[in-house]
Amino acid sequence: MSVANRSSSSPSQLKSAEPVVALHEINRHFQLGEQTVKALDAVSLELLAGDYVSVMGPSGSGKSTLLNILGLLDRPDAGAYLLNGAPTQDLSEEKRARLRQQNIGFVFQSYHLIPRMSARENIELPLILAGTAPKERARMVSEMLERLGLTARASHLPNQLSGGQRQRVAIGRAIIMKPKLLLADEPTGNLDTQSGADVVTLLEELNTQGITLVVVTHDVELGKRARRQLRMVDGRIQSDLRQSDVSD
Amino acid sequence: MRAMDLARFNFQVMVGHRFRTIMLMIALIIGVAAVNLLTGLGEGARLFVLGEFSFLGKNTLIIMPGKKETTGGMPPITGEAPRDLTLEDMRALTRLSAINRTAPLIAGMAELSYQSRLRESFVVGTTHDFFAIRKLSLLQGRALPPGDPTFADAVCVLGQTLKRELFGPEPALGQWVRAGDRRFRVIGILEGKGVAMGLNFDEAMLIPVASAQMLFNQEGLFRVFAEVRSERELTPTRNAILSIIKERHDGEEDITLITQDALLSSFDEILRTLTLAVGGIAGISLAVAGVLIMNVMLISVSQRTAEIGLLKALGASAATVRRLFLSEALLLAIIGSLIGLLISESLLAAGRLLYNQIPLGSPVWVKVAAVGVAIVTALLFAYLPARKAAALAPVEALTHKQGP
């Protein structure tokens, strides 16, 4: 794998590609007592297939809200969100759930594994929710465990796994449905340096295989690894740098 | 989500929250068991009482002297008629072709003695046919002799208890028992039949009706039983009896005619209502279980907020989340009510072993209804929490940073 090679060539390659995500003038406001907080203020953004984007900014700048909107977990108050070219903002909750299931994977800082389920079962969960046949499921999960190097830990419960292993299980769960878009919220926030590096390597590897990766982070080092770096302040995208612009 | 996966998921939840699961299950078990047990007891008591009172065949009419001008309610226990019901009246009824047989009854208390033993006891004056109508069977000897009912033969048949009290282990057949100023030779011993309608034949002495008329110095009969050939002929025969007696009693309809069914149906109704009431009260415990389910599930929803958010992020729709919570309640209700049934059925079975004359046991529809009500209650009360869970916005649910 070579991050440097790809990063210099891919922006031009992908310019012509259909955007996976297109946000137009997205507003998301919260009412805090008398005060209206503009978590997202007329944000427009396009993400192309295979993009590697980091979102940085101070706390309360709207990073997480942006991620929630992108992940169809939250609805914008105004504006349009096109996923694979199709508008989503007016879809029913059921249809949005279906889109999440088919297109979007989530990785959280605190893993959000279900404690009573083994590593294997946690990874299997999206397939179960989607109603995949048990045989097919077993095959896919075994392959995933193999790929994550967790085969020996398959039957361990989350509290019997290290932080790095837990996050790898969470990533396995996020990509088992082969989504186009992978959203990671502080994926290394709870990990030591080594485990964090392993997780980042895994995520970047997935990106080189074509997945669109969005990482929200406070970690400047991690943020700088992305080919495209967004910086948010007060609900607006303050800067949108591409690796080529930075390094060139 | 597949049904099997749903069941497995819920099973994991239930095992994961053992304490909660056990508490809810106990509530359901108690509810279902209480309903089944109490209706089982009530039903057993009802059948026991009905069995005790159904000593006559379905086709037997009971004729009593006197007339109560009221509808419904119990018929007069003692005769209040100016005109007696006599053996001649009874003989007149025998001419009706629809009547198989008839039997008179005179009853009273008398002091019985054998050697030095003395007993104040019940004496019944009747005829041979009474044994068939009343379905009395004999342990030893024979019944009262057939033939002319006006012939006062000095013989008697003793109830089992009375025989034991007067004779002890000694043989009684052929011995003479004194009743008042008369003596009767024992020709038969009754088989135990228990108490029926206040007449305990175990402690009674049966003598020919004419002898009883003399013993009690009383012409009038206390009852006349008439066995009708078939149930179909019951109503016409009843009318025929009324008109015959009316004719014989100077045009006055001064008797009361009842059937055993009429008597029993009022008992039956009372006991059935009582059983239903008790079962209904037990049913309230199921409603209480329902409220408990709702509360515990609401707590569970807030405890599992993060998990619900996660499931939604992984593509579970609101319907799926709702189904998860409802099916958990359903699973709880099914397992809980089956255990409740099992426990109550074993208790009823144990009760039947201890008191084998009482047919304890609830009807099938009660078992089905108890399980049905448990399931419906569980689903009904789980609906609110399930809807609350389904309505959780994934983003809010996920910000509950929890879990490993």
Q: What is the pLDDT of residue A105?
A: 94
A212 near B CB under 8 A? no
The answer to whether the Cβ–Cβ distance between B313 and A73 falls below 8 Å is yes
Which residues, other chains included, contact B253 with Cβ-Cβ below 8 Å and sequence gap of 6+? B67, B242, B245, B246
pLDDT in tens, A106-149: 998 888 999 999 999 999 999 999 989 999 999 999 999 999 99
- Residues in chain A with CB shorter than 8 Å from the CB of B318 are 93-94, 97
Q: For B190-211, give the DSSP string.
A: EPP--EETTEEGGGEEEEEHHH
Q: Quick one: tokens of B201?
A: 């034949």
Going B127 to B129 to B131 to B135, the CA torsion angle's sign is negative
- Residues in chain B with CB shorter than 8 Å from the CB of A101 are 314-316
- Residues in chain A with CB shorter than 8 Å from the CB of B403 are 110-115, 158
For B319, which of A94, A131, A159 is closest by C-beta distance? A94
Test mutation, A64, A75, A91, A93, chain B, max B CBs within 10 A:
A93
pLDDT in tens, A50-85: 999 999 999 888 888 899 899 998 889 999 999 998
- Residues in chain A with CB shorter than 8 Å from the CB of B317 are 93-94, 97-98
Tens-digit pLDDT string for chain B (404 aa): 788 888 889 988 898 889 989 988 999 999 999 999 999 999 888 888 777 666 666 788 888 887 755 545 555 555 455 678 888 889 888 888 888 889 999 988 899 999 888 889 989 999 999 888 887 888 889 999 998 888 888 999 999 889 988 998 889 899 999 998 899 999 999 887 655 555 678 888 999 999 999 999 888 898 899 988 887 888 888 889 988 988 888 888 888 888 877 777 878 888 888 888 988 888 888 888 888 888 888 888 888 888 888 898 888 888 899 999 999 999 999 999 999 999 999 999 999 998 877 888 888 998 999 999 999 999 999 999 999 888 888 777 776 544 43
Is beta strand A236-242 parallel, antiparallel or unpaired with respect to B60-65? unpaired
The answer to whether the Cβ–Cβ distance between B403 and A115 falls below 8 Å is yes
Is beta strand A35-48 parallel, antiparallel or unpaired with respect to A19-32? antiparallel
Is A123 within 8 Å of A141 (Cβ atoms)? yes
Q: How far apart are CA B34 and CA B366, in angstroms?
A: 11
The answer to whether the Cβ–Cβ distance between B1 and A129 falls below 8 Å is yes
Please indicate, yes or no, if residue A39 is contained in any of the structural domains. no
- Report the gap between the CA of B2 and the closest CA in chain A (Å): 6
Q: How far apart are CA A227 and CA A213, in angstroms?
A: 10
- Residues in chain A with CB shorter than 8 Å from the CB of B390 are none
A168 near B CB under 8 A? no
Which structural domain, as residue segments, surrounds residue A206?
Answer: 3-17+50-61+92-247
3-state helix, strand, coil in chain A (%, to 5): 40, 25, 30
* Per-window interface: A 43-72 vs B, CB < 8 A: 68, 71
* CA distances, B218 to each of B108, B209, B288 (Å): 10, 10, 63
Q: What is the pLDDT of residue B75?
A: 55
- Report the gap between the CA of B358 and the closest CA in chain A (Å): 50
Count other Cβ atoms within 10 Å, centred on residue B240: 17
Please indicate, yes or no, if residue A72 is contained in any of the structural domains. no
In which residue are the tokens 């958010």 written? Answer: B309
Is the confidence at residue A12, as pLDDT, over 50? no
A158 near B CB under 8 A? yes
ipTM of this predicted complex?
0.84
Q: How many domains does chain A have?
A: 1
Test mutation, A67, A92, A124, A128, chain B, max B CBs within 10 A:
A128
Residues in B whose CB is inside 8 Å of some CB of A read 1-2, 4-5, 9, 12-13, 15-16, 306-307, 309-320, 393-395, 398, 401-404
For A115, which of B320, B398, B404 is closest by C-beta distance? B404
Q: What is the pLDDT of residue A9?
A: 42
The answer to whether the Cβ–Cβ distance between B317 and A117 falls below 8 Å is no
For B395, which of A74, A94, A109 is closest by C-beta distance? A74
Q: How far apart are CA B146 and CA A143, in angstroms?
A: 97
Please indicate, yes or no, if residue A40 is contained in any of the structural domains. no
Closest residue of B to A126, CA-based? B314
Is A232 within 8 Å of A55 (Cβ atoms)? yes
- Report the gap between the CA of A139 and the closest CA in chain B (Å): 17
Test mutation, B17, B312, B314, chain A, max A CBs within 10 A:
B314
Q: What is the pLDDT of residue A28?
A: 92
Is A145 within 8 Å of A172 (Cβ atoms)? yes
Q: Quick one: tokens of B336?
A: 């809980």
Q: How far apart are CA B66 and CA B55, in angstroms?
A: 23
Ranges of H-type helices in B67-155: 87-94, 128-133
Ranges of H-type helices in B102-146: 128-133
- Residues in chain A with CB shorter than 8 Å from the CB of B395 are 68, 73-74
- Residues in chain A with CB shorter than 8 Å from the CB of B307 are 114
pLDDT in tens, A150-189: 999 999 999 999 999 999 999 999 999 999 999 999 999 8
Count other Cβ atoms within 10 Å, centred on residue B202: 19
Closest residue of B to A160, CA-based? B404
Phi, psi values for residue B106, rounded to 5°: -125, 135
A142 near B CB under 8 A? no
The answer to whether the Cβ–Cβ distance between A100 and B12 falls below 8 Å is no
Domain residue spans of chain B? 3-52+265-399, 83-253
For B315, which of A112, A126, A159 is closest by C-beta distance? A126
- Report the gap between the CA of B357 and the closest CA in chain A (Å): 52
For A129, which of B316, B318, B394 is closest by C-beta distance? B316
- Report the gap between the CA of A174 and the closest CA in chain B (Å): 8
In three-state form (DSSP H/G/I as H, E/B as E, the rest C), the secondary structure along A38-99 is: EEEEEEEEEEECCCEEEEECCCCCCHHHHHHHHCCCCCCCEEEEEECCEECCCCCHHHHHHH
3-state helix, strand, coil in chain B (%, to 5): 55, 20, 25
CATH number for the domain including A177?
Answer: 3.40.50.300
Provide the angle, in degrees to the nearest 10, between the axes of the packed helices A193-208 and A3-15.
40
Q: What is the pLDDT of residue A190?
A: 87
